[in-house]
Amino acid sequence: MRITALLCVVLVFAGCAQTPTAGNLTAPRKTQLYVLDALVENAGVNLVVNGVELAWFDGGKSWSSSIPLNDWMVSGVNEYEIAVFWPEAVKFVPGISSVRFTLRLNGEVKEEITWAPEAGNETEQSWSHNIAGTFRAEGFPRLMLEKAERVISSTGALSQEDQQAISDLAGELRAAFTNKDLSAAGELFKYKYADLSAARFVSEPSIRTGTDAIYEDIMGKDRYAVQPFWGRYNFQSTANDRLVKTMQGRIGFPEPALVLTYREDGRTRRYEIDLYFAKIDGKWVILR
């Protein structure tokens, strides 16, 4: 069983409305916190919002989760796709599956998305189902994510020049973490922090302070180390080709672009950092 969700570790949509340093500068703004609550019974699901895979559950008796959406939203119309499939390597049993997603705005129900197979017409071969739709986010800030260039060519490839630029930037970040230089890391994350400030309706300093506190704690642990050592990466376009997710380039075993390891309670532990790059005004930056 594999469960993944792009959930924020720190400062998950806490705080009050403020004037962000990036995005839509109109202020004050009313806080808008969008969350998608999932309840899945005896099914696998793949959730994509605005071209970004936010959650994958590949099957089991039951799965529930609350998935924050703000980091990946756009002003105006937002698109979602939910692929529902029968769990691999699980014996097919008709009539036991259901899927429910509840979209909430500031805790209030905005939309419900439900699906269950029709009784009597269910077979393993005809079981898969796709749910697609949209919802509007009126007054949501226009993030730098929307301003990013579409970077994937018609051939579906990222140019060698862009690959090198991203690798160099990732290498700078790796060096900052290796040297325990939070100031340098913060400078490389400045676009990310500014955009998340607007997306989450919180102050930029609070995002940076909370994140730095986590990194500083890990850096102080026994046997602190940073991976990868060699800086080889592979690249995957996402967010409708506006972002490039970068991962360590182990063939067949991709891992997050940055992994912090340390010893605690007699065990080696990992803290994984996904990196998403965007090209804004002709310059590659870390945006998520």
Q: What is the pLDDT of residues 82-92, one digit of tens each?
A: 999 998 888 88
Whether the predicted pLDDT of 10 surpasses 70: no
What is the share, in percent, of the chain residues with pLDDT greater than 70? 87
Whether the predicted pLDDT of 68 surpasses 70: yes
Average pLDDT over residues 9-19: 35
Where is average pLDDT lowest: 27-31, 70-74, 134-138, 176-180? 27-31
Residue 28's pLDDT is what?
47
Residue 183's pLDDT is what?
97
Where is average pLDDT lowest: 107-121, 169-183, 205-219? 107-121
Where is average pLDDT lowest: 173-177, 209-213, 243-247, 250-254? 250-254
Residue 218's pLDDT is what?
98
Radius of gyration of the chain (CA): 20
CB 24 within 8 A of CB 198: yes
Average pLDDT over residues 94-106: 94
Say how far apart CA 89 and CA 48 lie, in whole Å. Answer: 24
Average pLDDT over residues 168-180: 96
Residue 252's pLDDT is what?
62
Whether the predicted pLDDT of 56 surpasses 90: yes
Residue 250's pLDDT is what?
65
Whether the predicted pLDDT of 22 surpasses 90: no
pLDDT for 190-215, tens place per residue? Answer: 999 999 999 999 999 999 999 999 99
| CB-CB neighbours of 29 under 10 Å | 18
